[in-house]
Homo-oligomer: A and B are copies of this chain.
């Protein structure tokens, strides 16, 4: 039985780009059927893609394959990688999309190979011509080494990681989700063992740190740890930004109690 494959892309739902990934997998093996994906990363937003890739990775069973494609540099000399990390296998352009997945995996479990571009690949759609076929081969049992040449670690995005000091953690809003929650680059691990005094952003702050959405007091934003372990700012109902919360990309500071 082949392994499940999930896609994380910025292809949207208006075109056939997303469905073409499934089709390209079926060209490798028409029996591949455990396929799922999300295609709603904002166009070209590699940092948001890195968050979403990680969020989905946490839900996957060991052995699954994640195919992440947010690829503004398609057709240029940017590299392409296949990675093993924490029991998961991933393929992606080498632009930082795997920043969290790589950094958060046990180093002993991590390997990376460079993927060659097939001679017949188009210049504009490596999702279909390179990444999905590589994912399908991994799902069908190919090893990382059969796909490419061992190399060093993939590109990491600095802005994916909050700056941690003794009195504060500073990050930014990397994703605003469908419910309007402002998800930040500040992670549970950045706060471990510390207590939050306040979360502040350019024109607002909250001192309410709650467990779930229904606990948010009326009329104000609150902070909580979301389902992927990142700090988010949420409003009681509807988008945080409409209740004074931070905008997409806004810097966010978490002041810590001594």
A residues adjacent to B (C-beta < 8 A): 1, 3-4, 6-8, 11-20, 22-24, 26-27, 30-40, 43-44, 52, 55-56, 59-61, 63-64, 72-76, 122-125, 128, 175, 177-179, 211-215, 224, 226-227, 237-238
Contacts and interface: CB of A to CB of B under 8 A. Distances in A.
B6 A122 contact: no
A19 B32 CA distance: 17
A34 B32 contact: yes
A52 B16 contact: yes
Given A23-B61, A44-B237, A214-B75, A4 B16 contact: no
Nearest to A63: B30
Contacts of A6: 19, 22-23
A178 B75 contact: no
A53 to B, nearest CB: 8
How many copies of the chain does the oligomer comprise? 3
B15 A61 contact: no
A8 B19 CA distance: 9
A17 to B, nearest CB: 7
Contact of A227 (B36, B76, B125): B125
A15 B235 CA distance: 18
A231 to B, nearest CB: 12
A23 B73 CA distance: 29
The 8 closest A-B pairs by CB, nearest first: A75-B212, A12-B178, A22-B36, A125-B227, A14-B40, A23-B59, A33-B33, A123-B212
Contacts of A125: 227
A73 B64 CA distance: 31
Given A60-B23, A72-B213, A76-B212, A178 B33 contact: no
B36 A224 contact: no
A20 B55 CA distance: 8
A129 B45 CA distance: 28
A61 B26 contact: yes
26 contacts: A1-B30, A1-B31, A3-B30, A4-B30, A6-B23, A12-B178, A12-B179, A14-B40, A15-B55, A16-B38, A17-B178, A19-B37, A20-B55, A20-B56, A22-B34, A23-B36, A26-B34, A27-B59, A30-B64, A32-B34, A43-B179, A44-B237, A59-B128, A74-B214, A122-B227, A123-B224
